[in-house]
């Protein structure tokens, strides 16, 4: 499994707990005595891939270090309805105050991992890489990218400093100044560090030709049909990596992959993945 920065996890969890008012949980403080102990079990209610256990552990530890979490599985495990994921035990008030945040992270990240697994399964056996995009929840990008990896996918650039990606609006801005697509690519190549690749988003065969002639390193074929992608891939003929994006689903991913592209990127992995149904059932 990929690594998560423990300091980052603690910071994000603390911010979430603060947002939820978990350290001043009025309901629990007034109804559950501090000496009462309890335990509970995290149960899967649906099929999917587990992701987010480090956040669960961090949430309870931040509220009360005496709360113990005993995981039955590890991130990346396949879940069936009724699967026992982990047990938690300790002061009941602490368990109740951290419960929602622990579940929010576990359900959200497991949902992303599950959506990624479905997409990677759809293209299994083909030489293509499934990657995420920057369409992530603000502040949670590192966590959601982690979940994509847990689900068997890969990561695109982390932020705007990690690579040059000339999109349609950059091209439009250049054309408004009388620049060709090739001149926009040349400007990026001359101004960006030599260590960064130049990727260009195109929407037609003609634009793909321009991008190849401008020596783009990666050509993003945006919202094209598999047939149109195949034609572009054949023309590019290995002179650049090819990436397919736009409207990718588990239903059409295999046809897209069969066009010969090297990469399939999907924003839906993070912006539209439904949370996996997981509960915390208390045993008092």
3 is catalytic: no
Find out whether 74 and 53 touch, Cβ atoms under 8 Å.
yes
Terminal C-alpha separation, the chain: 34
Q: Which of 19, 79, 21 is nearest to 52 (CA)?
A: 79
117 is catalytic: no
B/e letters for 40-58, b = 16+ CB within 10 Å, e = fewer, are: bbbbbebebbbbbbbbbbb
Distance of CA 266 to the CA centre of its chain: 9
222 is catalytic: yes
Residue with tokens 């419960």: 99
Q: Is 89 helix (H, G, I), strand (E, B) or coil?
A: strand
| Identified catalytic residue from 100, 141, 231, 239 | 100
The alpha-carbon radius of gyration of the chain (Å, integer) is: 23
167 is catalytic: yes
| Identified catalytic residue from 201, 207, 210, 262 | 201
| Identified catalytic residue from 18, 162, 167, 234 | 167
201 is catalytic: yes
Q: What are residue 49's phi and psi, to 5 degrees?
A: -105, 130
Find out whether 257 and 229 touch, Cβ atoms under 8 Å.
no
| Identified catalytic residue from 89, 132, 199, 222 | 222
| Identified catalytic residue from 45, 135, 189, 239 | 135
Active site residues: 100, 135, 167, 201, 222
């Amino acid at each position: 499994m990929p690594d998560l920065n423990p300091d980052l996890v603690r910071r994000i969890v603390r911010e979430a707990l603060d947002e939820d008012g978990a350290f001043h949980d009025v309901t629990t403080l007034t109804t559950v005595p501090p000496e009462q102990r309890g335990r509970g079990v995290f149960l899967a209610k649906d099929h999917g891939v587990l992701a987010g256990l480090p956040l669960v552990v961090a949430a309870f530890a931040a509220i009360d270090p005496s709360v113990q979490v005993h995981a039955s599985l590890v991130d990346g495990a396949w879940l069936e309805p009724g699967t026992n994921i982990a047990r938690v035990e300790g002061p009941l008030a602490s368990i109740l105050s951290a419960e929602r945040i622990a579940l929010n992270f576990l359900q959200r990240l497991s949902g992303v991992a599950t959506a990624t697994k479905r997409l990677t399964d759809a293209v299994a056996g083909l030489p293509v890489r499934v990657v995420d995009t920057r369409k992530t929840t603000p502040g949670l990008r590192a966590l959601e990218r982690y979940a994509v990896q847990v689900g068997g996918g890969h990561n695109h650039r982390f932020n705007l400093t990690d690579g040059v990606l000339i999109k349609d609006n950059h091209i439009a801005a250049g054309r408004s100044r009388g620049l060709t697509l090739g001149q926009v690519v040349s400007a990026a190549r001359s101004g960006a560090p030599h260590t960064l690749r130049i990727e260009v988003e195109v929407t037609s065969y003609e634009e793909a030709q321009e991008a190849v002639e401008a020596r783009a390193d990666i050509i993003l074929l945006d919202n094209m049909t598999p047939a149109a992608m195949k034609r572009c891939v054949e023309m590019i003929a290995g002179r650049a990596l090819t990436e397919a994006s736009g409207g990718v689903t588990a239903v059409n991913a295999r046809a897209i992959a069969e066009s010969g592209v090297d990469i399939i990127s999907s924003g839906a992995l993070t912006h539209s993945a439904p949370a996996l149904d997981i509960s915390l059932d208390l045993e008092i």
